[in-house]
Amino acid sequence: MKRIPIAGPWITSLEIDYVNDAVANAWYDNANIYHFRFEKAFADYVGVAHAVSLPSCTSGLHLALAALGVGINDEVIVPEITWIATAAPINYVGAIPVFVDVDPTTWCICPDSLEAAITPRTKAVITVDLYGNMADYDRILAIAKKYNIRVIEDAAEAAGARYKGKNAGSFGDVAAFSFHGSKTLTTGEGGMLVTHDRALFDRANFLRDHGRVPGDFSFENSEVAFKYKMSSMQAALGLAQTERLDELIQKKRAAFAWYRERLSGIPGLTMNDPGLDVDATYWMVSIVWNESLRLNKKDVANALAQHGIDTRPFFSPLSSLGAYQHLPGIEACRARNPVSYRLRDCGINLPSSLGLQEVEVDFVCEHLRQIFLKS
């Protein structure tokens, strides 16, 4: 059995044709033609009015915070279980990240933990649609309205997922997506900011191009801002992938179903659980096991790696990272966010490439069963 990668794209002749055309023709007056097409197609898919193509989801979250006016000493709430890219932009704008717990079933932000963390300094919450799942947005939006805080949706991992029939990225004030090479929809590197709010869209467009109005050629910058743009070749690739997004999602869901069938019945083992209200897209197929099994995620990953099976660890709580040990009161997070700390050592992501074959899932699950039945 060849090595089974953790992630990877599905590229067809459509993507290659679009990128070749961009390389040949997307210059001068046509320089932005693929950007416009990609942004419109993606906005239409998500169900929002506006989209801005960017070099990463991180830049999208940074622009969202800046466009909303979040700044020095404001507090922004973020769930513990996510990649640091969710929280780092909070520091970029001089604000303070406040870490809260996740729901034990969905692994997304816990509404009760969110509400308990709100103070007079809270300006926004960044939700995270973890591994293609989605949070309880009815409760989150109600809490945000009650306390007059802004909602930024980190939909980096959830293109095409739905909560009560609405697409990831269509909740709250603004959202950001990732198109990293590992994602379901990829441009190699890249991202997108989406919003219903025209004023916020205009502000983000202004800030992403060194503080000038789009289309202005006078070079009279009125603010010091940022340089966050995507190349035409990336936009062409993204357009083709958007046109195929339903097909890509079907492949992800099929892979999850293969795993679920083969891993069901293992005592103490659970998989991604979207609940009744969510149509998840399973960017990563993830497993979490009961602490009583006394298995460490590094040991499980190493055992699988010996058979050529790539995995990646479940995210560690942000408050446990060295990058945030300087924050006042950071030591209290472990007691305040027990679910996140329980998950830390008891979960991994399994191979979830769009090129994954059913026979490879058989191979992975055979070795997983051996590990868990011996524990």
Distance from C-alpha of 333 to C-alpha of 253, rounded to nearest angstrom: 34
How are strands ordered across the β-sheet holding 347-350? 269-271, 285-289, 347-350, 312-313
Buried b (16+ CB within 10 A) or exposed e, 305-338: eeeebbbbebbbbbbbeeebeeeeeeeebeebbe
- Cβ within 8 Å of residue 261, ≥6 positions away: none
Question: Is position 183 annotated as part of the catalytic site?
Answer: yes
Q: Kindly state the helix (H) or strand (E) to which residue 348 belongs, with its residue range.
A: strand 347-350
- Cβ within 8 Å of residue 373, ≥6 positions away: 266
Residue type, 327: L
> Of 183, 136, 138, 177, nearest to 45 (Cα)?
177
Long-range (24+ apart) CB contacts under 8 A made by 176-179 are 176/54, 176/57, 176/60, 176/61, 176/63, 176/64, 176/152, 177/42, 177/57, 177/60, 178/56, 178/57, 179/57, 179/234, 179/238, 179/241
Distance from C-alpha of 193 to C-alpha of 301, rounded to nearest angstrom: 34
In the block, tokens 């009015």 appear at 49
Buried b (16+ CB within 10 A) or exposed e, 219-236: eeeeeebbebbbbbbbbb
Sequential DSSP letters for 268-300: TEEE----TTEE---SSEEEEE-GGG---HHHH
Distance from C-alpha of 48 to C-alpha of 56, rounded to nearest angstrom: 19
Structure tokens at 324: 């945030």
Which of 40, 123, 145, 183 is the catalytic position?
A: 183
HSE, CB side, 13 Å, CA atoms: give it for residue 236: 23
Give the catalytic positions in this structure.
183
